[in-house]
Chains A and B, each alone.
Chain A
């Protein structure tokens, strides 16, 4: 049975990179005695895949991984078992069964929502906040991206689905599909440039709020959280 797990990640564990989080979950499944399915061969590995890696330093309320179970005692039991072996800061928020034919988490991703705050707890600078309405109303938001060979111009605007800036918090819902994935800090950087203020990525704390798939069409999207693709069990 395919199961999707939603988890959150806060505090010191934000410094654990994606590959180590993968190893962490593999060991957690064993400690919790989850009856997970394995690949065959000399070094069997757990059948487990993540929706989208979370960068080092980012926190999250809504990350996902898919696993395959051989047997189980219901979602609540699975969640409780796993939560009893988590380190502080890591929490299992939900677990749902994926009906047959549902695409895996990674292939399903269409969008993600984020909040960004200043690490020092202060408000966004007045000059930035005052420019927001004008900035977000512009037809296009062009940034330049350095690649190995050359610099590329990218328009962020079509990839921003929702965005707002209050005094102390920036919130956005952006494209997270493999083709058009953008970062919340790219929007902020463009805004700071627009306002003529220096931008320092290290000053900002990014938190992923949730990850979504598109149940509608490209023209008429209908975004639902990844765990809404499954049913409780």
Chain B
């Protein structure tokens, strides 16, 4: 029995989003499990199903006999009004039963622009928005994912947040829940016990007070015996943890329509703008033999025609050559494609890419992030102009003609020269092509360069958490300078320049470093009709501005304000391993343009060594 009628399914786009029934989806007898959990990605099915973390937890939860985990996604904008009008409750794809019948609703929060979708999921599930209004029989709403490293703007909508990697503590939570059910204790009592597990943040158990200038004065627990310092959960041995042998295979084409092999977690690089690079420290590699076995198992169980490696910086994986050579041989035998994103361009990668891609159709990707060496030192991006030009020369000599370049605008201390450096660098790459490839050998056509810029948004737990975000007007001016610099180049016809929307960067900036006082504005924006804010077609900046205005939110306080070195941040009670002292040191070093070596070269004492694993102890 499907939750939606035939009439509805025949009237909406891609009805396969709502019917479940996919290969490797798990259906259990609901009377034979103790705990039912909805695993939700608050965006459309194709995005949610592409997320590795969701597949890992789905598979891990369902490996427990007493638990049935189902998937829950945001209904698309065509179905949403129908469900409201006909009062159809949001349902899990597997049972097609209301989310409300479940014990837990676990929401993965991957980007700030999904906050209104979280409210949509709650409302359509008929679960009260605010945790304090929920009854004993409402599902416990849990949040996880990178945005929980500053959960404050959405804190009141969640019963608790799971801070860190999901593999470690859910079993304990489930056992605690079973005990709580058996003993008939209250929801609040259960949450207090959860808070004591470590790694768990129960917002209702803490109070925040503010100074006159709007900054935070204190963050305190309002019940005894719970921690005011919450350390993230971390998997100690990544070759000995749960990984999905048989991920769910969607019927419709999703963004990641392939087997995804996570080769390591964390990143040694320490780029100062990058939140992921700090949150997932220290780097932990997976054993190459384990990865080989896992790859074969997953290909066999899914039938996918492509496999992709996943990590923040694949080139830093110590056994990359061994793994890639194995995959090339296996995949050739099985007629499977390999996709290798984010490889540093060197002899090895050019050779490998030549084997797995069509040189004519594929492009080289560089992410210098900034246009001048000065600025790259400020952001600690250890990629030099020489690296880029050498890599490009090598690839051009091997037939490549397409180049993609990624930059950021609005970085702290950025000057006009830094921005103009983007056009100049793109032109140098074009010149490199014409110097390297003689006219008669340009059988794949002339070089084509695409330079893209995004706007920099300071994020918590980075050295730039103190930095002011550029204003919208600055962003526009910077993009204009960048475009002019591209146009002024000798090879400007070979260079295409793209830039991102500015409005949405402002909203992302507010949420990223926001506090508890934003929640009413998020609710208000949602009520006005904001939904799917991550999609440019549906993003309504005007409604967001109205909501902020009505709720008395001072936008510059959150975005363009430079934070005092001693300010208490809304996320300070969380601990991702990297200490605030270390970040402060890095912020000051960035102002001087001093580069910090990566973890492979030298330990800089960031604090993450306290977890006792990874690169901090196994330097090659």
Contact of B15 with A31 in the complex, beta carbons under 8 Å:
no
Question: Which stretch (A83-91, A96-104, A127-135) binds chain B?
Answer: A83-91
> Residues 108-126 of chain A: 1 if any B CB is under 8 Å from the residue's CB, otherwise 0?
0000000000010000000
A85–B22 Cα distance when bound, in Å, is 11
Contact of A30 with B305 in the complex, beta carbons under 8 Å:
yes
Residues of A within 8 A of B335 (CB): 38, 44, 46
B357 CB–A CB distance under 8 Å: yes
Contact of A56 with B10 in the complex, beta carbons under 8 Å:
yes
Q: Which of B75-124 contact A (CB under 8 A)?
A: none
**Nearest CB on A from B169, distance (A):** 33
Residues of B within 8 A of A12 (CB): 2, 19-21
A209–B159 Cα distance when bound, in Å, is 53
A181 CB–B CB distance under 8 Å: no
**Nearest CB on A from B338, distance (A):** 11
Contact of A27 with B21 in the complex, beta carbons under 8 Å:
no
Contact of B9 with A87 in the complex, beta carbons under 8 Å:
no
Residues of A within 8 A of B208 (CB): none
Contact of B15 with A24 in the complex, beta carbons under 8 Å:
no
Question: Which stretch (A15-23, A61-69, A189-197, A220-228) binds chain B?
Answer: A15-23
**Nearest CB on A from B225, distance (A):** 49
Instruction: Using CB atoms, name the residue of chain B closest to A44.
Output: B335
B567 CB–A CB distance under 8 Å: no
Q: Report the contact-size class of chain B (Cβ under 8 Å from the partner).
A: 20 to 34
Question: Which stretch (B247-255, B344-352, B417-425, B597-605) binds chain A?
Answer: B247-255
Contact of B7 with A202 in the complex, beta carbons under 8 Å:
yes
Contact of A16 among B6, B251, B299, B357 (CB under 8 A): B251
Instruction: Using CB atoms, name the residue of chain A closest to B357.
Output: A42
Contact of B21 with A31 in the complex, beta carbons under 8 Å:
no
Residues of B within 8 A of A13 (CB): 19, 21, 251
Q: Which of B286-306 contact A (CB under 8 A)?
A: 299-305
Q: Which of B317-342 contact A (CB under 8 A)?
A: 334-335, 337
Residues of B within 8 A of A38 (CB): 335
**Nearest CB on B from A59, distance (A):** 11
Contact of B16 with A27 in the complex, beta carbons under 8 Å:
no
Of listed A12, A29, A87, A89, residue having the most chain B CB within 10 A: A12
Contact of A85 among B23, B334, B358, B361 (CB under 8 A): B23
Instruction: Using CB atoms, name the residue of chain A closest to B17.
Output: A15
Residues of B within 8 A of A23 (CB): 251, 253
Contact of B16 with A16 in the complex, beta carbons under 8 Å:
yes
Residues of A within 8 A of B337 (CB): 42-43
Contact of A20 with B301 in the complex, beta carbons under 8 Å:
no
A28 CB–B CB distance under 8 Å: yes
Size of interface on A: residues with Cβ below 8 Å to B: 29
**Nearest CB on B from A57, distance (A):** 5
Residues of A within 8 A of B20 (CB): 12
A26 CB–B CB distance under 8 Å: yes
Instruction: Using CB atoms, name the residue of chain A closest to B356.
Output: A42
Contact of A31 with B16 in the complex, beta carbons under 8 Å:
no
Contact of B305 with A27 in the complex, beta carbons under 8 Å:
yes
Instruction: Using CB atoms, name the residue of chain A closest to B250.
Output: A20
A38–B332 Cα distance when bound, in Å, is 11
Q: Given A43-B337, A56-B15, A202-B7: A31 and B252 within 8 A (CB)?
A: no
Contact of B251 with A24 in the complex, beta carbons under 8 Å:
yes
Q: Given A31-B301, A89-B21: A42 and B253 within 8 A (CB)?
A: no
Residues of A within 8 A of B21 (CB): 11-13, 87-89
**Nearest CB on B from A201, distance (A):** 9
A23–B251 Cα distance when bound, in Å, is 8
Q: Given A20-B251, A20-B252: A87 and B303 within 8 A (CB)?
A: no
Contact of B302 with A31 in the complex, beta carbons under 8 Å:
yes
A12–B303 Cα distance when bound, in Å, is 21
Contact of A28 with B15 in the complex, beta carbons under 8 Å:
no
A15–B253 Cα distance when bound, in Å, is 14
A214–B328 Cα distance when bound, in Å, is 47
Residues of B within 8 A of A28 (CB): 303
Instruction: Using CB atoms, name the residue of chain B closest to A120.
Output: B6
Residues of B within 8 A of A17 (CB): 16
Instruction: Using CB atoms, name the residue of chain B closest to A28.
Output: B303
A79–B467 Cα distance when bound, in Å, is 63
Contact of B300 with A31 in the complex, beta carbons under 8 Å:
yes
Instruction: Using CB atoms, name the residue of chain A closest to B306.
Output: A43
Contact of B305 with A26 in the complex, beta carbons under 8 Å:
yes
> Residues 1-29 of chain B: 1 if any A CB is under 8 Å from the residue's CB, otherwise 0?
01000110111000110011111000000
Instruction: Using CB atoms, name the residue of chain B closest to A31.
Output: B303
A30–B249 Cα distance when bound, in Å, is 13
Contact of A87 with B22 in the complex, beta carbons under 8 Å:
yes
Q: Given A20-B253, A202-B7: A15 and B303 within 8 A (CB)?
A: no
Contact of B16 among A15, A26, A43 (CB under 8 A): A15
**Nearest CB on B from A95, distance (A):** 18
A13–B22 Cα distance when bound, in Å, is 9
Instruction: Using CB atoms, name the residue of chain A closest to B358.
Output: A42
**Nearest CB on B from A111, distance (A):** 26
A43–B23 Cα distance when bound, in Å, is 24
Of listed B19, B20, B335, residue having the most chain A CB within 10 A: B335
Residues of A within 8 A of B302 (CB): 27, 31
A12–B3 Cα distance when bound, in Å, is 11
Residues of A within 8 A of B16 (CB): 15-17, 20
Contact of B2 with A27 in the complex, beta carbons under 8 Å:
no
Residues of A within 8 A of B7 (CB): 202
> Residues 300-317 of chain B: 1 if any A CB is under 8 Å from the residue's CB, otherwise 0?
111111000000000000
Of listed A15, A30, A89, A119, residue having the most chain B CB within 10 A: A15
A30–B300 Cα distance when bound, in Å, is 7
Contact of A27 with B334 in the complex, beta carbons under 8 Å:
no
A87–B20 Cα distance when bound, in Å, is 11
**Nearest CB on B from A55, distance (A):** 10
A12–B6 Cα distance when bound, in Å, is 10
**Nearest CB on A from B554, distance (A):** 48
Contact of B23 with A202 in the complex, beta carbons under 8 Å:
no
A44–B331 Cα distance when bound, in Å, is 11
A87–B23 Cα distance when bound, in Å, is 6
Residues of A within 8 A of B251 (CB): 13, 16, 20, 23-24
Instruction: Using CB atoms, name the residue of chain A closest to B23.
Output: A87
Given contacts A12-B2, A27-B305, A87-B22, 4 further A-B contacts (CB under 8 A): A15-B19, A16-B252, A20-B16, A38-B335
A-B contacts, 20 listed (Cβ < 8 Å): A12-B19, A13-B19, A13-B21, A15-B16, A15-B19, A16-B252, A17-B16, A20-B253, A26-B303, A27-B304, A28-B303, A30-B300, A31-B300, A33-B300, A42-B357, A42-B358, A44-B335, A89-B21, A202-B6, A202-B11
